[in-house]
A and B are shown apart, each in its own frame.
Chain A
Amino acid sequence: MTVQGHKAGAALAIAADVRAGRRSAVSVVTAVIADIEVRDTRFNSVTRILGPAAVAQAEEVDKAVAAGRDPGPLAGVPFGVKDLFDVRGEVTTAGSIVLRDNLPATRDAEVVERLRAAGAVPVATLNMDEFAYGFSTENAHTGTTRNPHDPARLAGGSSGGSAASVAAGLLPFTLGSDTNGSIRVPSSLCGVWGLKPTYGQMPLRGVYPFVASLDVVGPMADTVEDLRAVYGIMAGGVHVGEPDVGDVRVARLGGWFAENISPELAAGIDRVMAHLGHDRVIELPEVARARAAAFLISAAEGGNLHLPRLRRRAMQYDPATRGRLMAGAMLPAATFVQAQRFRRWFRGHVHAALAHADVLVAPTTVGVAPRIDQPSITVNGRTVSARANLGIFTQPISLAGLPVLAAPLAVDGLPQGIQLIGAPGGEAKLFAVAAELQRAGLAACRPIEAGYARKDS
């Protein structure tokens, strides 16, 4: 099967096989679960396997196929969700023991509901930083997720389990959330495709919140085609257009976004810009303050959200999260309001920049994934905490609420990624550029071992 001129992604290939009766949904799902049980011991990307419910749903897909009914465009495709999406019958933990006594969800999160209606089968919940507050997926309750390309290194976060399970080839697509970079950072460090849609576009019903002003949810996948298909279903079945990439004006972000990046990453961006035939460089103003504003808004809203529980049982929280939430809860109103006013100011300047380009290219992180035993990066000659600073290029964009497609560069060695940043609602142009980079071999996701693609079941 081909999709829009390209070889189909793994998810679409599975769906094509199931729809045509070449594979059963039950065989796909049971094989994926078995693969996770065997191989995820190395990566710790999965927190729960949804075995009986997944098999039961797969049986329904197979019945639909046998009866000649349409099983949906993602028939029998297994997927995983960051453990902050409601899955009916399961307790949504948000990566914490603080919520473990909550009642199980009585219905799916809206985006999960839409994917299930399209035939996709949730098979696992995935690891994350506690309450999505971190860039590393180091979790005191559920452990650290390891990077499949080098298990001695971080997967990034907070949607680290979502990225690692795709990079490992355990799942063809997953769902994550992105407040300050939590889809983009792990996508970059694990070498997978990821999409942070425009703020406000995706329904958040059934998604455990972190920062209402910034939260979005989106997919991560092994190909642009799968990413686009899943995104379209998550967005309510919208058709994602495909403008001619030649008509898309592309520029590179300079200034803040050109500093501190590795030579290999800089060369990768050079190659991308040369291939696309654009040499314009745009600088956004006051990027350091934009990052600071996103940091403050996150701290204040996250802290306020958890304040009632912090008053009663603070010691149940992950130590790495607790102090940050407490400090955020105490932020003065004047600080929070100033940050929100600055956001308004920054929005105006971002829109002015977007008058000159449809897609802005920027690095996602400064370089490759840090080692777990040495979780630091170098910024302006200083060694700083990876956990706090991996998002230096993603947080300013979060403040503006823009859509961003995280593209994995096709590089030798450890993965590195770039952000393709669009105007609000400009996802189709991001997909056009991403598809061209994939077609040209400049960007690629290379799963370690795609267990779901085996057809021996």
Chain B
Amino acid sequence: MSSAARLSPSAPVAGAGGHDDRKGPPVADMARIIGLSIPAACMPDVVANTALLQGYADLVSGFALPDDCEPAYEYTP
């Protein structure tokens, strides 16, 4: 597959988090669920990194795996 567009998935255009963050993941809500308070100064960076990870997640999730393909928790190379 071509990897050109997938190397560094784009960060959202807007940098704000929370409910109004329509262009990116709902970072403030996601943080609240795990008891994490994100300082305001850190929010743009966390939003950008969350969007980056979402791009990679989309890439991996876009690949169909057979049902009997188990997670590699006890991994032996």
In the complex, A324 has a CB within 8 A of chain B? yes
Q: Are A322 and B7 in contact (CB under 8 A)?
A: no
Whether A199 is near chain B, meaning CB under 8 Å from some CB there, is: yes
Contacts A198-B77, A307-B34, A330-B27; is A342 near B53 (CB within 8 Å)? no
Chain B, interface size category, equals 35 or more
CB of A341 within 8 A of CB of B70, answer: yes
Query: Is B76 a contact partner of A200 (Cβ separation < 8 A)?
Result: yes
Whether B63 and A286, one on each chain, are in contact in the complex, defined by CB atoms closer than 8 angstroms, is yes
- A399, chain B: closest CB distance, angstroms: 9
- The residues of B that contact A340 with a CB separation of less than 8 Å are 71-73
Asked if residues A324 and B49 are in contact (CB atoms below 8 Å), the reply is: yes
Kindly list chain B residues whose C-beta atoms are within 8 Å of the C-beta of A341.
Answer: 65, 69-72
Find chain A residues with CB under 8 A from B39 CB.
Answer: 314-315
The answer for the CA separation of A329 and B33 in the assembled complex, in Å, is 11
Q: Given the known A-B contacts A315-B39, A326-B31, are A295 and B72 also in contact in the complex, defined by CB atoms under 8 Å?
A: no
Query: With the chains together, A342 CA to B56 CA distance in Å?
Result: 13
**B59 and A292 within 8 A (CB):** yes
Contact among B3, B8, B75 for A388, CB-based, below 8 A:
B8
A314 touches B57 (CB 8 A): no
CA distance A335 to B53 in the complex (A): 10
- Give every chain B residue within 8 A of A345 (Cβ-Cβ): 65, 69
Cα A389 to Cα B52 with chains together (Å): 12
Task: Give the number of A-B contacts (CB < 8 Å).
Answer: 138
Judged by a CB distance under 8 angstroms, whether A457 is at the interface is no
- Is there a chain B Cβ closer than 8 Å to A319's Cβ? yes
Q: How far is the CA of A400 from the CA of B77 in the complex (A)?
A: 6
What band does the interface of chain A fall in when counting residues whose beta carbon is under 8 Å from B? 35 or more
In contact, B59 and A289 (Cβ under 8 angstroms): yes
A415 at the binding interface (Cβ < 8 Å)? no
Given A307-B34, A310-B36, A344-B71, decide whether A319 and B60 contact each other with a Cβ distance below 8 A: no
In the assembled complex, which residues on chain A have CB atoms less than 8 Å from the CB atom of B76?
Answer: 200, 401, 424
Give the residues from 162 to 220 in chain A that come closer than 8 angstroms, CB to CB, to chain B. Answer: 198-200, 213
Partner of B65, one of A292, A296, A342: A342
Of the residues B4, B8, B57, B70, contact of A331 by C-beta under 8 Å:
B57
Q: B61 to A330, Cβ gap below 8 A? A: no
Q: What's the minimum C-beta distance from B7 to chain A, rounded to whole angstroms? A: 5
With an 8 A cutoff between CB atoms, is A293 at the interface? yes
Name the one of B7, B34, B38, B52 contacting A382, with C-beta atoms under 8 angstroms.
B7
Would A327 and B60 be within 8 Å (CB), given that A292-B6, A315-B39, A344-B70 are in contact? no
Which residues does B use to contact A, with CB under 8 Å? 1, 3-4, 6-8, 27, 30-31, 33-39, 42, 45-46, 48-50, 52-53, 56-57, 59-61, 63, 65, 69-73, 75-77
Could you list 16 A-B pairs, sorted by A, with CB under 8 Å?
A199-B77, A256-B3, A293-B60, A296-B56, A299-B53, A314-B39, A322-B42, A328-B49, A340-B73, A343-B75, A344-B71, A345-B65, A380-B3, A382-B7, A382-B8, A401-B76
